[in-house]
Chains A and B, each alone.
Chain A
Amino acid sequence: MLALAAVIALLPLALSNKYFYDIAVLVGLNAIVCVGLNLLIGYAGQISLGHAGFFGLGAYGSAILASRYGWPPLAAMLTTTLAVAALAFVVGRPILRLKGHYLAMATLGLGVIIFMVITTEDKFTGGPDGIAVVPFSIGGLVLQGERIWYWLVGALLLVAVWLALNLIESPMGRALRALHGSEVGAEVVGINAADHKVMVFVISAVFASVAGSLAAHYSGFVTPGKVTFLHSIELVTMVVFGGMASTFGAVVGAAVLTTLPQLLTVFKDYEMMVCGAVMMGTMIFLPRGVVPSLARLFQTGRRRDAAKEDGA
C-alpha cells in the first residue's frame, strides 16, 4: 500500500510530458476497474466477461446527465453509480446462479446487450458517433489537464486499493475466498453464497462504473468503443496477467497491459504480434500472474539463501 502510494507520488519525476501523464491516467482508470474485477474473479472465483458494459454505463450515464441535462458532474456520477449498482443487483441474482462457462456466457450476453442499447439509442447516446462530455467540475472548480487528473485518479486508485484490501481481510472477504474454495463448504458454515456473490458483483460493477464516469469526463468524449466485448476481455486479461487474488497484481496487470501497446509502437506493424508473444510468455513462465509468481520466486530465493547460510 505504502509502496503504491510512493510510486504514485514519485512517478511524475519520470513523466516528462503530457503524453506520459495521459498514459498514466489511463493506467489508473483501468487499474480501478481491475481492482474491483479482481474481487469478483480472483477472490470470489466468479468470472465476468461483461464488465466493459458497467464501465460504459458509468461513462454514458455521466455523459448524458451532465452534458445533455446539465447536471453537476458529481451528482451525475453519483446517480449513475447508484443506478449501475441497482442494475448489477437485479441482474446479478439470476446470473450468478450459473457457474463456470455458463456464467461467462451470461455475463458476456449482459455486456453485449448494454453495447447494443448504447449504440442503437442514438437519441441519448449519439450512437456510434459518441457524445461529447463536459469537463469535470466541483462547485466552480473545473478539473482539466493531465496533471490534475493524474493526482485525482492516483488518489482514487489508492482509495480503491485500500477498500479492496480491507474487504479481503474482513470476515466478509474470507467468506468470498471460501466460496471460491468450496461453495458447499462455505454454505455449511453458514455463509449465504448467493448473497455474497451478488454483493461482490455489485461492488465490482460500482468500481467499473466510477472509472467509466471519470474516463468520460477526462477524455471529454465517449464512444461505444470502450463498451465492446473486446474491452471486457482486456479487463479480464489484465486481472489474470497481473495475478488473480492479488490486488496489487490487478494494478500491475492494468499498468503493463495499458502501457505495453504504447511501448511496442517501435515494432510498427508487428506491434500486436509482439504484445501477444509477451502475454503468452508471461503466462507460460509466470502462470500465477506476474505479482504472485514473482512474490513466490522471491520467497523461495530467500529461503535458499537462508539454507545456504545455515550450511556455511
Chain B
Amino acid sequence: MSLLQVESLSKKFGGLNAVDDLSFDIQPGAVHSIIGPNGAGKTTLLNLLTGIYRPSGGRIVFGEYDLTGRAPYEYAGHGIARTFQNLQVFFNMSALENVMVGRYLHERCGLASALLRAPRLARAEKVCRDEAAELMRYVGLHSYLSVAADAMPYGALKRLEIARALATKPKLMLLDEPAAGLNPTEALELDDLIGRLSERGVTVVLVEHNMRLVMGVSNHILVLDYGRKLAEGSATAIRNDPKVIEAYLGSTVAHEGPVGGAITSAVAVAGETRR
C-alpha cells in the first residue's frame, strides 16, 4: 500500500492554477524527488501536503487517514514533517531548544504539570534534551550544541531544520530545496545525510533544483510543469524523457509560446544537469 496518495489535487490562486488536477502516489521507503522549472508549483505542493494551504479540490490520503483540509499540526501529528526553503527557524531560541521543540508531540504535558513542574516532567525534559542533542550530532551539528540559533551560519540552519523535523519522528519527510544556498562541499554532505535518513526508515520527498543531488539520491522522480504532472519514473527514465528535456531546455515552439520566459530561465538549471 502506498504511504501517501494524492488524488486530483488542485490549488487556485485567483485565476492561476498553481497545482492543477495532480495525482500521484508515494511508496514507503526510498527517496522521491519532485523537480520542475521555477513556478512549476513544487513549493505550493509541499504547502498543500503539510496543511499550510487548503486545496481547492482533490484529496490527500496519508496511510489510511484522509487529511484533506486538516490543519498543519494535524499533518505533523500523523507523521509528516518538513523543512522550508526560506528558513522557519526559531531564532529566539538556542539551537538545541529548536530541536527540543520538534519533540513536542512526544512530550506533551498538561497545563497543571507544566505550571507546577511535576517530577515526571523534569525526567522527561532530561530525556528530551539528550535526544535532541543526539539528533544534532546525527545531522552533523555537534559543534553548535550550546549556540543560539541566530548565531549560526546558513548551512547549519538548514541542517538544524532537518534535525527539528526528525525530532517529530516522522514517517514522511518533505525537504524543500535543502541544497539551495549551500556551497558544493555542504551540498555533497547533504547527499550522505539524505541517504542516512532513508536508511533510518524515513520516506524522503525532496524538492530540489540541484540536479546532481536529485539524480544521485532519488529512487523515483516526479516532474511538474505548470502545476501538472509532466513525467514520473526512475532517474534514468526522466533524464531521457523528451518532454522533460523540452520543459527544461525549451524547444522552438516553447520559446514562441507565452510561457517562453519561465522555461528560458530554467535553462541555467538544465545546464547543470548536463555537466
Which residue numbers of A lie inside 8 Å of B, CB to CB? 163, 166-167, 169-175, 177-178, 180-182, 184-193, 199, 245
Contact = CB atoms under 8 A, between A and B. Distances in A.
Contacts of B102: 189
Contacts of A191: 73, 101, 104
A187 B105 CA distance: 11
B114 A186 contact: no
10 contacts: A171-B124, A171-B125, A171-B128, A174-B97, A175-B104, A181-B89, A181-B91, A184-B88, A187-B71, A189-B76
A214 to B, nearest CB: 19
A245 B109 contact: no
B115 A245 contact: no
A190 B88 contact: no
Nearest to A187: B72
Contacts of A188: 50, 52, 72-73, 75-76, 81-82, 88, 165
A172 B107 CA distance: 9
A166 B89 contact: no
Contacts of B103: 171
B90 interface: yes
Contacts of A185: 84, 88-90, 164
A1 to B, nearest CB: 12
Given A163-B115, A170-B121, A192-B71, A187 B76 contact: yes
A185 B102 CA distance: 10
A173 B114 CA distance: 8
Most A-side CB within 10 Å, residue of B71, B75, B104, B125: B104
A172 B111 contact: yes
B168 A189 contact: yes
Interface in B109-152: 109, 111, 113-117, 121, 124-125, 128
A171 B114 contact: yes
Contacts of B108: 171
Contacts of B117: 166, 169-170
B52 A175 contact: no
Contacts of A177: 90, 92-93, 97
Contacts of B97: 174, 177
Given A188-B50, A190-B105, A191-B73, A167 B114 contact: yes
A174 B82 contact: no
Given A189-B167, A192-B73, A174 B91 contact: no
Contacts of B107: 171
A245 B92 contact: yes
Nearest to A183: B88
Nearest to B167: A189
Contact of A189 (B51, B101, B111, B125): B101
A186 B101 contact: yes
B261 interface: no
B242 interface: no
B92 A181 contact: yes
Nearest to A164: B115
B233 interface: no
B167 A178 contact: no
A164 B90 CA distance: 21
Most A-side CB within 10 Å, residue of B71, B76, B115, B128: B115
A163 to B, nearest CB: 5
Contacts of A175: 101, 104
B249 interface: no
Most B-side CB within 10 Å, residue of A167, A175, A190, A245: A190
Nearest to B164: A189
Interface string B256-275: 00000000000000000000
Contact of A199 (B51, B75, B111): B111
Contacts of B52: 184, 187-188
